[in-house]
Structures are given as structure tokens and as C-alpha cells.
Amino acid sequence: MEEMHLEMLVATTGLYAGILALIFLLLSLRVSQARQRLKIDLGDGGNPEMARIIRVHANFAEHVPVTLILIGAIELNAGPHSLVHALGIALVVCRAAHAWGLGAAILAVRAVGAGGTMFVLMIAAIYLIYQFAVAL
């Protein structure tokens, strides 16, 4: 019974990891396509459009892994399933908003995505510390 319970828990974070991996793949393809179109093999070639596309991809890569690890840790520590889903959904929405806002240079959407991501990260971190403190 315990093994099935752990499989269900990992599957929930896995769902959000899978969705975010697909977004990451799209961002990676966008970098590759821009490199071909702009004929830039390495770096941004001093091109502002290429720099923005690279930054969107890199920002996603910087924030998503650690946040997913925290969400997975909450789940593996038997945190509330509703919290895991809320954090996962918020992370997907915020990362998509940030990528779109930064890519299209829409400051308000970018800010919501960035701020929301930081909020998810903060909530997950605080909840994990709380889980540990309560277990003492």
C-alpha cells in the first residue's frame, strides 16, 4: 500500500515536470530556429533579438528545476495534495507568462510571470521548512 501511495505522489510532480519540459523544449527550439534564421552560431552575436530569445530560455532553465525539486519534496513529505497541485499549476502558468512576456517585450506579463514564480518558490521553501519544524 505504501509503495502505491509514493507512486501516486511522484506522478503529480511528474505531471508538472512533463508539462514544463515541453515548454522548455519549445523554448529550446525557438533558440535553434533563431540561430539558423539570424546565422548566429554562438552567443547572441550582438543581436538584441537573439539575446532576448536566449534570455527567455535561460531564465526558464534557472528557475524551473529548483522549484520543481521543492514541489517534489513537499509531495514526498506527504504535504497536502492540493498544495502540490496549486504550486504546480501556478509554476506552469507563471513560467509560460514570463516566457511570453519577455519574448514579446510585454513588461506587465513578464512581471506577473517572474513575481508569480518567486512567490511559488517562496511558498514551497517556507512550507518545507514548516514541515521540518513540525516533525521535530
| pLDDT, tens only, 106-124 | 889 989 999 999 999 999 9
The pLDDT value given to residue 10: 57
Name every residue whose Cβ is closer than 8 Å to that of residue 74 and which is 6 or more positions away in sequence. Answer: 83, 84, 87, 124, 127, 128, 131
Residue 122 neighbours by CB distance under 10 Å: 12
Comparing 71 with 7, which gets the higher pLDDT?
71
Residue 6 pLDDT class (50, 70, 90 cuts): low
pLDDT tens, residue by residue, 23-72? 999 999 999 999 999 999 999 999 999 999 999 999 999 999 999 999 99
- Gap between the Cα atoms of 89 and 1, Å rounded: 28
pLDDT at 1: 41
Whether 136 shows a pLDDT value over 60: the answer reads: yes
d(CA 74, CA 7): 14
Which class is 2-135 in CATH?
Answer: mainly alpha
Task: At 15, give phi and psi (nearest 5°).
Answer: -60, -50
Q: Where are the domains of the chain?
A: 2-135
CA distance 99 to 102: 5
pLDDT confidence of residue 26: 95
pLDDT given at position 62:
96
Beta-carbon neighbour count of residue 71 at 10 Å? Answer: 29
